[in-house]
């Protein structure tokens, strides 16, 4: 059975070009870039190349790039560093819809005595900018707002948020894991002080991430050890991962256009066809200010895990914000923050595409999903009573 992979916000395939670029660094060119001999030294040159490629995708300086092990490490480093360099300040501003790498860390810090403000979103998943601005205080050590939401794809006005923070002398960090490689970013033209990205969301492997730190930003390392990354992150470099990420960034820059035309068109066709074919379905999140690859659709009166498992029978991979799949007993914190009604939240499915998806992939979902929803609705005790209401379709 063919796999139709529509879960690229969870992780992506390492592209062939990236893999080819990485392979020599496992067996043939395994030197340590810190070594004095030229066998290691030649590897250091490759690291510097990769650093340039990452910097160029972000419009940043190569020295502003710190390689880490993942997005979570980058996020944790940014927050902890900002608190450490400003020991007198005890307030953190973030949003209610962050990735757990920020959300759970902030909850943890709240228990340790920090004050955390989690700014809300409206029913379309848009950040409440008035609440955000009002929450910035002289005691605020850091504001951390994700650039694009992983579940809905909604893009936040992060550049504006960063400017508001800078005006008040507050350090601004953004978790840009979902947006890097999909939307152009120019760090020269914005006021963001720190930015996290993760390799495996843009066709590089798992285990490699980046924290961008703007020149002049006070910084305190998270991993303390060797002089690697100019003493800002100890630990022997993940050479193959870094080289792979460099290549992936180069490819992302080249395919950005395709992401916003081809992928967007596939996504729109998928979304519109499903909404037309399946009554009582709706999109979660504002439709125009969104990543081009993401759609989050709720199918009322059915439950997400059941949908996923039935789609799995056809090789279709997606994810859900339902309680049963989140491992907790409540639907995703993002959908709850948006106030999505329970009848809808439990039946939410996120499709996230990549440049490797094809028209056939989309055709398959459009063909297979409507009967799956039908089958589950026939089983659902709520459907029969509601059915009379939707005779239009």
Which one, 161 or 302, has the nearer CB to another protein? 302
Look at residues 240, 203, 200 and name the one whose alpha carbon lies nearest to residue 14. Answer: 203
Is there binding between residue 305 and another protein (CB under 8 A)? yes
Selected binder of another protein within 38, 330, 358, 371 (CB under 8 A)? 330
The beta-carbon contacts of 30-34 under 8 Å, at least 24 apart in sequence, are 32/236, 33/237, 33/239, 34/226, 34/227, 34/228, 34/236
Residue 139's φ and ψ, nearest 5 degrees, are -90, -5
Q: From 178-186, 240-248, 341-349, 356-364, give the range in contact with another protein by CB under 8 A.
A: 341-349
Q: Where are the alpha helices (DSSP H) in the chain?
A: 16-22, 24-27, 38-58, 71-85, 100-111, 129-135, 158-167, 239-258, 264-277, 304-312, 323-326, 333-337, 342-345, 359-379, 381-387
Which one, 123 or 328, has the nearer CB to another protein? 328
- Cα 75 to Cα 55, 56, 146, 253: the distances in Å are 18, 21, 10, 23
Q: Report whether 322 contacts 331 (CB < 8 A).
A: yes
Is there binding between residue 390 and another protein (CB under 8 A)? no
Residue 135's φ and ψ, nearest 5 degrees, are -85, -10
Q: From 56-64, 188-196, 283-291, 303-311, give the range in contact with another protein by CB under 8 A.
A: 303-311
Which one, 110 or 309, has the nearer CB to another protein? 309
End-to-end, the C-alpha distance of the chain in Å comes to 32
**Active site annotation includes 324:** yes
| Distance, CA of 156 to CA of 291 (rounded, Å) | 10
Q: How far is the CB of 106 from another protein (least distance, A)?
A: 16
Is there binding between residue 298 and another protein (CB under 8 A)? no
Is there binding between residue 302 and another protein (CB under 8 A)? yes
| Distance, CA of 166 to CA of 28 (rounded, Å) | 47
Is there binding between residue 322 and another protein (CB under 8 A)? yes
Bridge partner list, 359: none
Is there binding between residue 134 and another protein (CB under 8 A)? no
Q: Side-chain half-sphere of 201: how many Cα atoms within 13 Å?
A: 23
Counting Cβ atoms within 10 Å, is residue 167 exposed (0-12), middle (13-18) or buried (19+)? exposed
Q: From 154-162, 188-196, 273-281, 296-304, give the range in contact with another protein by CB under 8 A.
A: 296-304
Which one, 199 or 279, has the nearer CB to another protein? 279
Q: From 67-75, 156-164, 268-276, 380-388, give the range in contact with another protein by CB under 8 A.
A: 380-388
Q: Report whether 191 contacts 171 (CB < 8 A).
A: no
Is there binding between residue 30 and another protein (CB under 8 A)? no
Selected binder of another protein within 115, 324, 368, 387 (CB under 8 A)? 324
Q: How far is the CB of 310 from another protein (least distance, A)?
A: 8
Q: How far is the CB of 341 from another protein (least distance, A)?
A: 9
Which one, 272 or 313, has the nearer CB to another protein? 313
Q: From 25-33, 44-52, 319-327, 351-359, give the range in contact with another protein by CB under 8 A.
A: 319-327
Q: How far is the CB of 53 from another protein (least distance, A)?
A: 35
In Å, the largest CA–CA distance within the chain is: 78
Task: Write out the residues near another protein by the rule CB under 8 A.
Answer: 301-306, 309-310, 313, 322-325, 327-331, 342-343, 346, 378-382, 384
For the annotated catalytic residues, the residue numbers are 324
């Amino acid at each position: 059975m063919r796999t139709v992979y529509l879960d690229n916000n969870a992780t992506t395939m390492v592209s062939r070009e990236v893999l080819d670029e990485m392979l020599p660094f496992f067996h043939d060119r395994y030197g340590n870039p810190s070594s004095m001999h030229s066998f290691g030294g030649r590897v250091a040159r490759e690291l510097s190349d990769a650093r340039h490629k990452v910097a160029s995708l972000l419009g940043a300086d190569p020295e502003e790039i710190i390689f880490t092990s993942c997005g979570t490490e980058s996020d944790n480093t940014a927050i902890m560093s900002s608190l450490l360099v400003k020991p007198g300040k005890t307030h953190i501003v973030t949003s209610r819809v962050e990735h757990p790498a920020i959300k759970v860390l902030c909850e943890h810090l709240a228990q340790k005595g920090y004050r955390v403000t989690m700014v809300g979103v409206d029913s379309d998943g848009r950040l409440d900018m008035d609440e955000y601005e009002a929450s910035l205080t002289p005691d605020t050590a850091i504001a951390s707002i994700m650039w694009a939401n992983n579940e809905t794809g909604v893009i936040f006005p992060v550049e504006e948020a960063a400017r508001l923070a800078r005006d008040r002398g507050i350090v601004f960090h953004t978790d840009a894991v979902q947006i890097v490689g999909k939307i152009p970013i120019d760090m020269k033209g914005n006021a963001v002080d720190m930015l996290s990205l993760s390799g495996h969301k843009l066709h590089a492997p798992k285990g490699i991430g980046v924290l961008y730190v703007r020149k002049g930003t006070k910084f305190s390392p998270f991993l303390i050890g060797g002089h690697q990354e100019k003493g800002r992150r100890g630990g022997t470099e993940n050479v193959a991962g870094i080289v792979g990420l460099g290549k992936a960034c180069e490819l992302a820059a080249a395919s950005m256009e395709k992401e916003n035309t081809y992928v967007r068109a596939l996504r729109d066709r998928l979304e519109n066809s499903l909404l037309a074919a399946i009554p009582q379905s709706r999109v979660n999140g504002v439709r125009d200010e969104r990543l081009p690859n993401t759609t989050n659709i709720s199918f009322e009166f059915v439950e997400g895990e059941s949908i996923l498992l039935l789609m799995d029978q056809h090789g279709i991979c997606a994810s859900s914000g339902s309680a049963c799949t989140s491992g907790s007993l409540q639907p995703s914190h993002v959908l709850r923050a948006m106030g999505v009604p329970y009848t809808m939240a439990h039946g939410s499915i996120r499709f996230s595409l990549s440049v490797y998806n094809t028209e056939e992939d989309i055709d398959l979902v459009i063909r297979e999903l409507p009967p799956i929803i039908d089958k589950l609705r026939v089983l659902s005790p709520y459907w029969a009573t509601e059915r009379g209401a939707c005779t239009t379709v």
